[in-house]
Chains A and B, each alone.
Chain A
């Protein structure tokens, strides 16, 4: 009986901590959203931090990541194209490519890449700032850390995810045209290509795509920051904070992806 009681207490504590963490993330997300939309947030110092964040998150990795995304896209386009042709379904290849690659894989891949690179870095940095009391130090000299250090990272990170996704989608569409219409002009023409793109990427689908990308961008910065802020002021908690932040971020990205899929297909 005692063992059962202890086990139930442990499970209850775990659930309570899990719930608390999500409440913290939600609260911070709401505060960040209001802060992002408030003109009072922005001044010359905060705009500079936003620029730096965009530089480190998007501009610095742009060439390498775009080459990788283009190669990956081309591989998927060729595989889908060749397989579809083999089974006599070539007319469906283009729609399949746009639906799988442009609407699903590229936005998710970009978000995961930024989450791994920037999200982990932001989580570590905020956790260390919290542990070393840098946030209080800023507050004490009259600088609101939320405005100077945290919100610009959310804004910069979100813009970066949107920009990288847009660039990758444009590159993928161009490669699709190249692979399906230019290199292997079996049945499709320029007109077919344009019509198909217009048919698949209609207004509701585009709205869901950009809403999803926006949510990805918001999540890859908000969750690591929120996790970093809740780190206890002990150095050994830093890796635990990053670990928790990254796991929470991964599940959030998957949840956003599933919700977007449900909106389009269910």
Chain B
């Protein structure tokens, strides 16, 4: 049973549809969960570690407990169940009892009448530490001499993929380049810092209102710590003031739950200040990537050898998966027959790293794209030509050695890049810098990103559709809207399938009581999985509508036709021969019948796993090419991105406005990663704790961004759609670095390419102003 709509008859899919949540978000009328205050509320605060690495000798909370206005003080002794959390391996203590392993570690919780009293009470908690030497360099961390931060050692995971004969290929190659690349510890910098509410309800159940990216998994993690039946916990995780992966892992949900059990039913609120968010929250993994790439004279790539170290900080979170995805994508969307790809995910005392838009691919994209540019330069080849020559096509083999049977748009995105106005007129654009000491350059790069969880990992979606009074529909998908606009996507898919106006669709997301489990909001998956889930539910709704109409018409269901959003009797009947959805609702309501249906969807998988690497390969990928124009001030090293052409292949576009929003936001986030952003940690201590020194691009740095979608329809996707949330920020990284090289002749292999780094490189290479 499925819904078929002829492409040319699509009414909503592919149009520029205004975000359903747009008006209240842009006018500021929407209240986020952390905006609320309640009369009888109490404030919760978290005591953090004083050192990046230390042994806890003693914790004394007596003074804090006795302090006026304090309601409770909790330590590891107050954790009723399992004292740990973590999506893959729960190795992060909820409240530390023996060691602290980073500055973000939580040691105690306080609830108090006011935020100030809670803050003061934290100061009264006495913790005696034995200070230990922190482990801060991943390469040092894996040596036997390094202190072991976890019983299993400091290597959290190792990924290795080997195909062909790398040694022989390098020996026979015509060109070889080898470079080492360093990437920054980017922070998510969502507007709404981590926070929320915990409320012990009168019936003894617990409600946690906390922005997150997977309410059902958050609920399981809370239940494990409380040793509670998860059904007694309700998690509400929508709306969210930005996620980008930073709210994929548990943030404050468990603290809220523990405190709520000790406040006598009063609602407890935690809302991090920016500084606490920076120190406690996860970050993007900084990588060191050493990559050696070889080609034949004609530009055919023949070998790639990669060693990547990812610094996951004190705890695993999704670090293992990040390294795995990085290795899977480390050869780019190309076919390279001989590869030896090795990745290490290493524990240190440098904060905690985890999920972040791009999930490891950002770091390796810089390496492979730069190496390819250097090969092209050595061979005198055009950068687009060499890429077109080496990309894999649908039905072909990837560098992982698996056959990619799903849609592949790389070649077309490169072709569009070659034919875009900016690229065709690049010499003209470069010839006229705004001041004589400035130099302009153009860069191009391409990348890809897996959709969903990959081989061996359960990946599943579900949706409900409920017929409402007046013939409206309520579409429920638990997967939250973290800013990307997936709620509007679900509404478009539903409106298309149910032949109704988009304004007649309401969407509910992120509530374990009112929606059913549809998996995470991560891995660029919610359009593909959520959209397919809505499409799986729609036929059941149509069946309900038709069978009810047949009952009213008193005819066989086969004689009922759904056309133009109404139900028609194909044969003469008593009374009117057409029924609206409102009529159907009225009939069902009067007969006390169910008006809600469910649809379920299993994400298809590739045929076989790559080695024994869990999650590898993916079945469906989104593809993306970027072209950028930059201007570098040779006096200061400042780089300005003037223009960006973003060419995504996301399969069929569901919402053109949404796609452009993602493409523009992704471009700016990628620009920030390349030029400005880095959370600096020295000897385990955070040096950039707020936006004074953590530099984000603002509107002033935002260039003109043009989006040219390539719609390489994927037959397993909803209406042919794939996913786009992450890849839109990836190749721009390498494209900017390449453009800086084109402008100045210096290659920046250590990001961000701050004015100081660019200037220093120019100075070392003698690039000077010649006005």
Chains A and B belong together in one complex: no
Residues of A within 8 A of B (CB): none
